[in-house]
Amino acid sequence: MNYLTNAGGLLLNVLFGALVTLFVLRLLAEANRADFNNPICQFLYRFTNPVVAPLRKVLPSVRRINLAALVVALVVECVKVVLILLLAGLPLGPLGILVMGIAELLDFLLLTWIVVVFVWSLMSMLSTDRYHPVARFVTALAEPLVRPLRGRMTLGGLDFSPTVVLIGLFLARILVAQPLQDLGTRLLMGL
């Protein structure tokens, strides 16, 4: 039975991870003012708009943060947590589910930024077409994180600002997201 639970958990993580990816990338694209004419942005808007557009009437954007996309991503994470808990036969607690959902979303957001900054730095080392839609999208998401450190972390002509940003993002996962997940687990277990 444990193997079946693990397999079900994997499938739930993949399915809900794909859904959260759409809403998190839309959130990041809007927050970083990615080019709307980019085919990737068009794809994100086309598939998330049926859910986000009605919610935007109730939850408007605040300082370029699309609250509707953020709430949808949080709800998807909370539903994933509930389904995984039900699959494992663990108790359900509303506060624990909410904290776990927030922790999962924060961890996912940080991991998304880690991947984006890594891909961006890899593309900058290789000779890639800067006008390719993927390159433009990745640059739009990574540039705001790296820009404050650019030029300040150079050594021997190499810019280590992406490395410093990646270390900061990994530390945020360890020092912020993981304790939040542990708190959610304790709340669920009633400890």
* Separation between Cα atoms, residue 28 and residue 38, nearest integer Å: 14
Tokens of 171: 């530390």
Least confident of 77-81, 133-137, 159-163: 159-163
User: How far is 101 from 118, CA to CA, in rounded Å?
Assistant: 25
Beta carbons of 140 and 41 less than 8 angstroms apart: no
pLDDT, position 191: 63
SS3 of residue 43 by DSSP: helix
Give the range of the structural domain holding residue 139, as residue numbers without chain letter. Answer: 2-189
Is there a contact between 183 and 100 (Cβ–Cβ < 8 Å)? no
Residue 22 sits at φ, ψ, to 5 deg, of -60, -45
Contact assessment for residue 108 and residue 171, using Cβ atoms and an 8 Å cutoff: no
The pTM (predicted TM-score) of the whole model is 0.89
pLDDT > 90: percent of the chain: 61
Distance CA 138, CA 134 (A): 6
In the chain, pLDDT over 70 holds for what percent of residues?
99
| Amino acid of residue 15 | L
- Supply the pLDDT for residue 24: 95
Distances (CA, A) of 164 to 14, 123, 153, 160: 29, 17, 8, 6
Instruction: Tell me the per-residue pLDDT of 91-150, one tens digit each, with 9 for 90 and over.
Output: 888 999 999 999 999 999 999 999 999 999 998 888 778 888 989 999 999 999 998 888
pLDDT at 176 over 60: yes
Q: How many domains does the chain have?
A: 1
CA distances from 115 to 58, 121, 171 (A): 32, 10, 15
118 contacts 130 by C-beta, under 8 angstroms? no
